[in-house]
Structure 1
Amino acid sequence: MTMLKTAIALAAIAIPAVTLAHTPVDVPYETRGDCEAQMAQDNIFHARDKVQQGKYDNVGDAMQDMHEHFWCEQNPDDGFWYMLRTPF
């Protein structure tokens, strides 16, 4: 649980621009599938945005980078799934 709280806290303060554009990491999901479906939608949005900004040559590379930074994890205290991310 400590790792989950730490990851959520880091995600909330690490990169405000990404946090604002991305679904908030403190949103609870009933199932892992719900969390991963939202994460996939966000990934597509961000990948296209990053290509338009010239940060990546193609959507696939941008999606891979986002995929390496975001994941879903279940909180054992409340049973809900949360989207977590590592700082960029």
Structure 2
Amino acid sequence: MLSTDIKQESMVKKITNTVDILREEYPIYKKSLDYSETLLDLVDAFQRNLSFEEFNAMSDEKLKKHCRDMMAVRLLGNIGDSFTPEEMIIFEDAIKRK
């Protein structure tokens, strides 16, 4: 049986590799998301929601999709951080009309 440290290290390595690929494919992630925070959030989310065996059985493509989706949500959460007050009013008005 693998020790918890080895399991965690394996999970972190797999997620890190996936995030590195996504940052190359989608430069917006590299530009707009903090690398360390993103990794910590993803590792935490996978550890909370999947057993090591479930995580380890996940295909690379499925892991990539889950990471991409979570990173996209994180990116959406940052929208507006750099808006001026006038831009925020325009943005909020646009959302209300939808």
TM-score by length of 1: 0.41
User: Relative contact order (C-alpha < 8 Å, sep 6+): which is higher?
Assistant: 1
The structure with the largest helix share of the pair is: 2
Which structure's CA Rg is the greater one? 2
TM-score by length of 2: 0.38
